[in-house]
Structure 1
Amino acid sequence: MDTRKYWRQPLSTAELLELLEENEDVVPDCIYITPPDNQGWESDEDSGDEDCNDPNRLNSRQLQADAETNLLDDVDEINEDENEENKENKDKQEESQTNVKRLPPIILSKYSEPLEFLELFLSSGVLETLVKNTVIYAAFISILYIRGYVPVSRRRMFWEGRSDTKNTLVSNSMRRNRFEDIFRYIHAADNNNLPKNDKMAKLRPLIEKVNKLFVRYTPVSEDMSIDESMIPYFGRNGCKQFIRGKPIRFGYKAWVLTQPSGYCVNFDIYQERTANRDNSIGLGESVLMKFADLLKSRFPNINFSLFFDNFFTSANLITKLEKINFSGTGTVRDNRVDKCPIEDSAIMKKKPRGTFDSFVDRENNIVCVKWRDNSVVTVLSNKYGIAPVRKAARYYVKEKSKIEIPQPNVVGCYNQSMGGVDLMDNNIFNYRIGIWYIPILFWTFDVCMNNAWILSRHLGKQIDNLEFRRVAAISVLQKYGKPPLATGPRTNFRGRRFVALDDDFDIVEVGEMVIAMALMGRLARSSFIGSSIRISI
């Protein structure tokens, strides 16, 4: 009996390839790609071997085209030698794999364009959220990206006629007045249906859609870090925070879950007391367990190792992570381990740098390590301990040279995996806008660009952050921008009435000038008259 089946559901090439990756029991016999609508548009990137069978080399138009396939539901029809070879490769991969690293289910490679990575996160669903509540285009967001690396004192300077500030790419992609209107009326939610208990209700639909895409395309690894990120804002709003000693002291605080590479997996904006928070535990513990539950539900087979600072860390939190098979490592405040039988920080300050002490709670599987550096640092962990002791290079002021001091393994691992949020902040450019939710909205766009760049580097694309932004922004304007229909300055006649001259009136001079009257004439006439004829026109 023939086990071949014909798939008749209309799917694009990208959707079909993703479906085949998810269903391991279904084997494609062959895939037919219909010619794209714009098949005659061919560029240097489109040229290649017509018989190429690598799906990673397909361009965006081929991935968007309709596709058909013949399926085999009997996996035994595959060559047995091929199965054995795949099994051996899989066994070798599992043996050599010490830290889980998985690429997301995407059909991109290091040969893909930056625009293709950016469109993973600024997808049609995200844009539709804005389009539904605003007259918005992708070109508007791209102009904001360009303003990030080509700053001007005023937004309107991009459209000026002066050669020092005019940006031809921007002015040919969107009209200045349209950009200003979008900037003035941009919305991400329906103001008539806002929940009263959510201070971020104006941005909630966009935040939820973007977070789903971040989790979907994350290149999964075991190590994750949780920290706060500040979005600068100096206006008046109930959610604005002031944090002393931070590089950005005023603004909105965002809780961010990232990878050590700086990829943002999930985020949420802090809005003080909310109805959804568990008030029986501390704020830091509540935020961290929310991220842990998200990872557990999305990736149930991976035991993550989380890193966090002393705002979150407590022995109770480490115990909760242990119950869900997660590891936790973080610096801790002395008042949260005051009952731990470990050397006092005041005594350790008097000892030389590199001195450390530790205590192991075997009942709860928690290690407490105190280490003397410039100051005394205390770390809790249920995964790492002292051994193997590392060497850390430090500058010794008295001898004016670098020295090596002992460093416990738990401190070294913490330093390697904790800086993901700081890397993300370095990659993001923040805007200071008057409307209260605009900084958060644009910060979200910047996180999308940051994730697209980091994802491209995971796939082997060698391009720096600035060049990636430039190529992506230019590609968006070239794809979605609309050049002006007519050249030259635009004349604005709105608000004025012009009355035609009588038929029997003849203009004697060709060089007649139109001048403005000092006082307004009759209401039915305009305030402009001829220089010699003295008649309102």
Structure 2
Amino acid sequence: MYWQKKTRISVIADAMSRDMFSVIIASLKVFDESLLNAAQRKSDRFHKIRPLIDCVRSRCLELDRPQYVSVDEMIIPFTGRTHLKQFTPRKPNPHGLKIFVLASSDGQVLDFEFFQGKEDLLLNVQRTGLHLPEWGTLKIGEAAVLRFVKSVSRGTSFFFDRFFATPKLLEILSSLGMGATGTMKKNLVPKQCRLKTENQLKRSGRGSSDCAVRDDSAFCITVCMDFKLEIAYSLISEEVLNDDNSESEISEEHDDISRKEQGPFPLLQSVLTVHAICLMHYPLMPLE
């Protein structure tokens, strides 16, 4: 891009050729591996680019924490050879390195976690200091959300899709005084929710819906029929539930869900794609 005629950036193109840039980026090392023993290198599979990851993440942690945040998975495109590569269907770039990202409603990345496997993710959840019974039984989606609980304040409301949402996760967030809104898989809807069946909604036609609210008014789940059955839930945080002026805020929250879209985070993805992936090439050429 920097060397093409239409998109040429003279500050970079005049300083070095494209081939020289490729040699430098392929030879660049950001960490001295001699400082780690074999066990440490095995426990952190991203140790070669860990300083770069920590540098970016430390600046993300300095950003202000809004009341409404979103959790989603992001893929850094990569088709090279590494056992860390994941395949995530229905993504623009399904092959690559997976990152779980915490973001604000305007797209700012507040925190992120490179996925190295379920065991590593569960260990990171344990390191947050949360006292969870049987934390080892958490699913990947549940652990990904709980990994970011310490990055936000009490009363924060999370937005995430059906990959993450489970009744168990919602109960944990409720016990922590936090809220959540999103979609849920049909087979995870609590049996206590006496909602209309899919066939009943189909007979009523497109746009028909049904809703169930828990006795404490903190949790509601809605099913509606569009082109297919859609299931949405809302868990109201403790602070909002106890606020006398919360009714208008709750209404604004649900009217504004469309602005809190989940999906790729372009700024972080562009930075890490250019730098981190280049550093994942293990055969490093020495600079002369």
TM bucket normalised to smaller: 0.7 to 0.9
* Counterpart AA for 1:414: I
Give a deviation string over 1:271-330, Cα, whole Å, max 9, x none.
Answer: 22334514321111111011012213xxxxx52111000011122211211222111112
RMSD over aligned Cα atoms: 3.4
Using a 3 Å threshold, how does the CA distance of structure 1 residues 168 and 327 change in structure 2: closer, same or farther? closer
Q: How far did residue 415 of structure 1 move? A: 2.6
Aligned position for 1:32: none
Mapped contact 2:78–2:277 kept (Cα < 8 A): no
Q: Following TM superposition, by how much is the alpha carbon of 1:251 offset from its aligned partner in structure 2, in angstroms?
A: 1.1
Q: Deviations over 1:223-242 (max 9, x none)?
A: 10000111111122111111
Looking at structure 1, the residues matched to 58 and 223 of structure 2 have their Cα atoms a distance apart, in angstroms, of 39
SS at match of 1:239: coil
Matches within 5 A, 1:135-534: 147=1, 150=2, 152=4, 168-174=10-16, 179-192=21-34, 193=36, 194-216=40-62, 218-275=63-120, 277=122, 278-296=135-153, 303-337=155-189, 339=191, 340-363=193-216, 365-383=218-236, 412-419=255-262, 421-422=263-264, 424-425=265-266, 429=270, 437-438=277-278
After superposition, the Cα gap between the structure-2 partners of 1:219 and 1:438, relative to the gap in structure 1 and judged at 3 Å, is: same
Instruction: State the one-letter code of the partner of 2:277.
Output: Y
Q: Distance in 1 between matches of 2:44 and 2:195?
A: 44
In the other structure, the counterpart of 2:285 is none
Question: In structure 2, do the counterparts of structure 1 residues 205 and 432 end up closer, same or farther at CA, with 3 Å as the change threshold?
Answer: closer
Instruction: Point out where structure 2 has 5 or more consecutive residues left out of the alignment.
Output: 123-134, 242-246, 282-288
SS of 1:353's equivalent in the other structure is coil
Cα shift at 1:212:
1.6
When Rg is computed on C-alpha atoms for both structures, the one with the higher figure is: 1
| Higher RCO (C-alpha under 8 Å, 6+ residues apart) | 2
SS in 1 for 2:174: helix
Change (3 A) 1:189 1:415: same
Aligned partner of 1:284: which letter? Answer: G
Residue identity opposite 1:417 in structure 2: K
Structure 1 Cα separation of the partners of residues 144 and 88 of structure 2: 18
1:22 paired residue number: none
Residues 188 and 366 from structure 1, CA distance in 2 versus in 1: closer, same or farther, beyond 3 angstroms?
Answer: same
Q: Distance in 2 between matches of 1:275 and 1:180?
A: 33
**Aligned pairs (5 A) from 1:49-60:** none
Give me the whole-angstrom Cα distance separating, in 2, the residues matched to 1:235 and 1:174: 26
Paired with 2:198 and 2:3, the residues of 1 have a C-alpha distance of 48
**Alpha-carbon separation, structure 2, partners of 1:294 and 1:440:** 27
Deviation digits for residues 324-380 of structure 1, max 9, x if unmatched? 211111210011115121112243234322211011122583111112223221112
SS at structure 1 position matched to 2:266: helix
- Tell me if the contact between 1:381 and 1:410 (Cα under 8 Å) persists in the aligned partners: no
The 3-state SS of whatever aligns with 1:357 is strand
2: CA distance between counterparts of 1:380 and 1:333? Answer: 10
Instruction: For 2:100, give the aligned amino acid.
Output: W
Are the counterparts in 2 of residues 203 and 437 from structure 1 also a CA contact under 8 Å?
Answer: no
Q: Secondary structure at the match of 1:438?
A: helix
Contact kept, 8 Å, 2:30 with 2:48, in 1: the verdict is yes
Paired with 2:266 and 2:117, the residues of 1 have a C-alpha distance of 22
Kept in 1: contact 2:49–2:276 (CA 8 A): no
Worse-matched range after superposition: 177-186 or 248-257: 177-186
CA distance, structure 2, for counterparts of residue 276 and residue 332 of structure 1: 22
1:506 corresponding residue in structure 2: none
Whether contact under 8 Å (1:319, 1:364) holds in the other structure is no
